[in-house]
C-alpha cells in the first residue's frame, strides 16, 4: 500500500500558493510539487528498501513543514489567477502593412524569437512553435502553462512559463533550466551567459546565477516591471518609474533615467536600450545611461525593436498600428497590422515579425520598396496559416523519462555529486577543468548518476561549463 502525504502553503494576503506531495510505493519515493491547481513537476527515486524510502520521505516532509507547509486536502484550494498582459486593442485607421504571411497560433501570443534558423512563437495556451521564415511549422512543444517570453542565450533557447519555470528547448524534450521562486510574479525575463534576470509585478528585479540560486534582487523606484534585458555588463530594468541599470554581479545601481509613462516593453542592441512606454513614446538610452532621443507614436507603446545599427526603430501601439522611425526620431511610416496589436516584435533580415493579441505571428516585409507600395495602398496577399489541432504534449524531461544510453560516442560524460546539502554536476571526461561545475537542470540531478551530453561550452565569463544538446542517463 502506498504512503501519501499532501501539503500546501497558501497565504491569504501573500503570494505563496503551492503544494508538495510525497508518495512512497514500496522502495520508490515520488515527489510532486508546484502551484496549486497545476500538475506541477514530478521526480522519482528508488531506494534499497521501503524503510529507507520512508525515512527519506519523512525528512522531506519535516523540512517543508518547517517552512510553513501544512497538511491539506487536494482540490479544496483552487488555482489562483496568473498575471497576464491585456490590451484594449482597437482597429488601426492607417493603411495596411505589407504582411507576407500570418500564422494563427490559436490563442493570444506573447513570446517571439527570430534568427537565421527561423522563428519561434509561444502563446497563452502553452503551445510553442518553431517555424521557418516562410511560416511552415518545424517543431512544436506543449508546456504546462502560458508562455511569457522566448529568449536565446548563445546556443540555448529558453522559454518563460506561467508555471514559474524557465524551460530549455535546446534538446528533444523541454528541460527545467530554472525554477523561479513561487513568491515572484513573473512579468518578463532575459538570460545572458547563463545569468537569468526576472522582472516582477511589484517592480523588483531578481537575478539568478547558473546554479539557479538567487544572486541578488533589487526593488526599483516603480512597479510593474515589464522590461528586463541582460548583457555582459548589466541588467536593464524598465518599470513604472523609468529605466534602471544594475551591475549584474552585485546588483548595485549604475544609473537611472525617468520616463513620463510606465515602461511596457524593452529592447536592446549592443550599445543602446529602448523602452516602449504608456505615454506613446519609445525612449532610447545609451548603455552608459545617456538619453539618446524619443520616438512619438499615437497610442501606448506595447512593443518596440530596432535594427542592429540603430538606423530604424520600430514600435507597435494599442491600436493595432506599426511604426517605423529614423534614428533622429522622424516618423517614416505608420501602417495597420490587420491582426491585432503587437505584444512583442523583432526585426530580422528586412522583415519585422510581430506576435499579437489575436494570437498571430505575422511577418511584415520591411524593405523600402514594399513599404512605399503599402503607403500607396498596394500590399501583397498575405498567406494565412493555421496551427494544426493540438499535438500531444511533449513531456518535460525528468529522471524517470529521460533517455538512457550505454554508448558515450562523441559525447561528454558528466557526473552528479553532493557538495554539502547541494547536488552539483561536473565533467567526468578528460580534458576539462574538474573544479568547474556544469549548468544542468536541477530536476535531473541525482547523486552518483552519470550523464552524456552532446557537448559542453565554457561560459564567456568563465568559471563554469554549460551543457548543450540532449541529456542522456549513462548506464553501465
- CATH assignment of the domain containing 64: 2.20.140.10
- Same domain for 11 and 158: no
CA distance 42 to 31: 6
From 352, 386, 420, give the residue that closes a domain: 386
Q: What is the pLDDT of residues 17-33, one digit of tens each?
A: 788 899 999 999 998 88
Residue 13 in this model has a pLDDT that exceeds 50: no
Residue 226 lies in a domain: yes
The mean per-residue pLDDT over the stretch 305-318 comes to: 94
Q: Has residue 390 got a pLDDT over 70?
A: no
Q: Got the DSSP string for 155-201? A: TEEEEEETTSEEEE-SSSS-EEEEE--TT--EEEEEEETTEEEEEET
Residue finishing a domain among 326, 351, 386: 386
- Pick from 57, 12, 9: nearest CA to 36: 9
Contact 428, 441 (CB under 8 A): no
Q: What is the pLDDT of residues 312-368, one digit of tens each?
A: 999 999 999 999 999 999 999 999 999 999 999 999 999 999 999 999 999 999 999
Task: Please indicate, yes or no, if residue 222 is contained in any of the structural domains.
Answer: yes
83 within a domain of the structure (yes/no) = no
Name, in order, each residue with C-beta under 8 angstroms of 344's C-beta and a sequence gap of 6 or more.
109, 110, 111, 112, 149, 265, 303, 354, 355
**Percent helix, strand and coil across the chain, each rounded to 5?**
5, 50, 45
Q: Residue written as cell 552524456?
A: 452
Range of the domain at 173: 99-386
* Residue 207 included in any domain: yes
Q: Say yes or no to pLDDT of 445 above 50.
A: yes
More confident residue, 347 or 422: 347
CA distances from 71 to 63, 183, 437 (A): 13, 20, 37
Please tell me whether residues 151 and 29 are part of one structural domain: no
Per-residue DSSP letter, 101: E
Let me know whether 66 and 208 are in one domain: no
Residues 242 and 364 in one domain: yes
In a domain, 80, yes or no: no
What's 442's DSSP letter? Answer: G
Assigned domain for 442 exists:
yes
10 vs 36: CA distance, rounded Å: 9
**Same domain, yes or no: 382 and 444:** no
CB distance 202 to 187 below 8 Å:
no
Q: Kindly report whether the global pTM for this prediction surpasses the value 0.85.
A: no
What cell was used for 352? Answer: 519585422
* More confident call, 277 vs 399: 277
- Is residue 369 domain-shared with residue 412, that is, in the same domain? no
Supply the pLDDT for residue 269.
95
Does the residue 76 lie in any domain?
no
Query: Which CA distances in Å does 105 have to 128, 340, 361?
Result: 9, 13, 7
Rg over alpha carbons for the chain, rounded to the nearest Å, is 23
Residues 140 and 236 reside in one and the same domain = yes
User: Of 139-148, 195-204, 391-400, which gets the smallest average pLDDT?
Assistant: 391-400
- The CATH number of whichever domain residue 200 belongs to comes to 2.130.10.10
Instruction: Kindly state whether residues 170 and 130 are assigned to the same domain.
Output: yes
Decide if pLDDT at 303 tops 50.
yes
Q: Is the pLDDT of residue 386 over 80?
A: yes
Query: Within this chain, do residues 283 and 356 fall inside the same structural domain, yes or no?
Result: yes
Same domain, 271 and 413: no
201 shares its domain with 295:
yes
Size of the chain in residues: 476
Q: Is the distance from CB of 64 to CB of 20 less than 8 angstroms? A: yes
When divided into structural domains, the chain yields a total of 3
- Final residue in a domain of this structure, among 360, 386, 412: 386
Helix/strand/coil for 65: helix
264-294: pLDDT as tens digits: 999 999 999 999 999 999 999 999 999 999 9
Q: Is 51 helix (H, G, I), strand (E, B) or coil?
A: helix
Report yes or no on 88 lying in a domain: no
Name the nearest CA neighbour of 217 among 196, 190, 242, 192: 196
Q: Helices in 307-462 by DSSP H: which ranges?
A: 368-375
What average pLDDT is seen over the chain? 89
Q: How far apart are CA 349 and CA 150, in angstroms?
A: 19
Q: Tell me the three state secondary structure of residue 50.
A: helix
Q: Please give the Cα distance from 280 to 331 (Å, whole number).
A: 13
Q: Are residues 119 and 223 in the same domain?
A: yes
126/147 Cα distance (integer angstroms): 5
Q: Which of 235, 142, 164 is closest to 193 using CA atoms? A: 235
Amino acid at each position: 500500500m502506498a504512503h501519501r502525504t499532501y501539503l500546501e502553503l497558501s497565504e491569504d494576503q501573500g503570494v505563496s500558493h503551492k503544494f508538495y506531495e510525497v508518495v512512497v510505493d514500496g522502495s520508490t519515493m515520488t515527489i510532486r510539487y508546484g502551484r496549486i491547481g497545476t500538475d506541477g513537476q514530478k521526480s522519482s527515486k528508488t531506494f534499497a528498501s521501503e524503510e529507507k524510502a520512508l525515512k527519506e520521505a519523512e525528512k522531506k516532509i519535516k523540512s517543508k513543514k518547517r517552512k510553513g507547509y501544512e497538511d491539506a486536502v487536494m482540490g479544496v484550494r483552487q488555482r489562483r489567477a496568473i498575471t497576464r498582459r491585456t490590451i484594449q486593442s482597437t482597429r488601426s485607421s492607417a493603411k495596411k502593412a505589407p504582411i507576407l504571411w500570418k500564422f494563427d497560433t490559436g490563442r493570444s501570443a506573447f513570446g517571439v524569437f527570430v534568427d537565421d534558423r527561423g522563428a519561434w512563437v509561444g502563446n497563452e495556451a502553452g503551445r510553442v512553435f518553431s517555424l521557418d521564415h516562410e511560416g511552415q511549422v518545424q517543431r512544436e512543444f506543449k508546456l504546462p502553462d502560458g508562455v511569457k517570453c522566448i529568449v536565446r542565450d548563445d546556443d540555448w533557447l529558453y522559454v518563460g512559463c506561467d508555471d514559474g519555470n524557465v524551460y530549455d528547448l535546446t534538446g528533444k524534450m523541454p528541460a527545467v533550466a530554472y525554477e523561479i521562486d513561487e513568491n515572484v510574479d513573473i512579468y518578463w525575463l532575459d538570460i545572458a551567459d547563463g545569468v537569468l534576470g526576472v522582472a516582477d509585478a511589484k517592480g523588483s528585479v531578481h537575478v539568478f546565477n547558473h546554479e539557479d540560486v538567487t544572486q541578488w534582487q533589487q526593488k526599483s523606484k516603480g512597479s510593474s516591471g515589464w522590461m528586463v534585458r541582460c548583457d555582459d555588463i548589466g541588467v536593464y530594468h524598465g518599470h513604472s518609474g523609468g529605466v534602471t541599470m544594475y551591475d549584474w554581479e552585485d546588483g548595485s545601481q549604475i544609473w537611472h533615467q525617468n520616463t513620463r509613462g510606465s515602461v511596457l516593453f524593452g529592447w536592446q542592441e549592443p550599445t543602446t536600450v529602448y523602452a516602449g512606454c504608456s505615454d506613446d513614446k519609445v525612449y532610447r538610452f545609451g548603455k552608459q545611461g545617456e538619453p539618446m532621443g524619443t520616438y512619438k507614436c499615437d497610442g501606448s507603446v506595447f512593443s518596440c525593436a530596432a535594427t542592429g545599427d540603430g538606423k530604424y526603430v520600430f514600435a507597435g501601439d494599442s491600436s493595432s498600428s506599426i511604426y517605423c522611425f529614423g534614428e533622429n526620431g522622424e516618423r517614416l511610416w505608420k501602417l495597420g497590422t490587420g491582426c491585432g496589436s503587437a505584444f512583442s516584435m523583432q526585426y530580422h533580415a528586412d522583415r519585422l515579425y510581430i506576435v499579437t493579441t489575436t494570437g498571430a505571428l505575422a511577418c511584415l516585409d520591411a524593405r523600402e520598396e514594399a513599404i512605399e507600395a503599402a503607403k500607396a495602398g498596394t500590399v501583397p496577399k498575405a498567406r494565412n496559416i493555421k496551427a494544426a489541432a493540438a499535438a500531444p504534449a511533449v513531456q518535460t524531461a525528468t529522471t524517470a523519462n529521460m533517455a538512457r544510453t550505454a554508448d558515450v560516442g562523441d559525447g561528454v560524460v558528466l557526473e552528479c555529486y553532493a557538495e554539502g546539502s547541494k547536488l552539483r554536476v561536473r565533467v567526468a571526461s578528460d580534458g576539462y577543468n574538474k573544479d568547474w561545475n556544469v549548468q544542468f537542470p536541477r530536476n535531473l540531478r541525482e547523486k552518483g548518476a552519470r550523464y552524456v551530453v552532446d557537448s559542453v561550452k565554457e561560459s564567456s565569463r568563465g568559471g563554469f561549463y554549460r551543457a548543450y544538446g540532449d541529456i542522456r542517463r549513462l548506464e553501465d
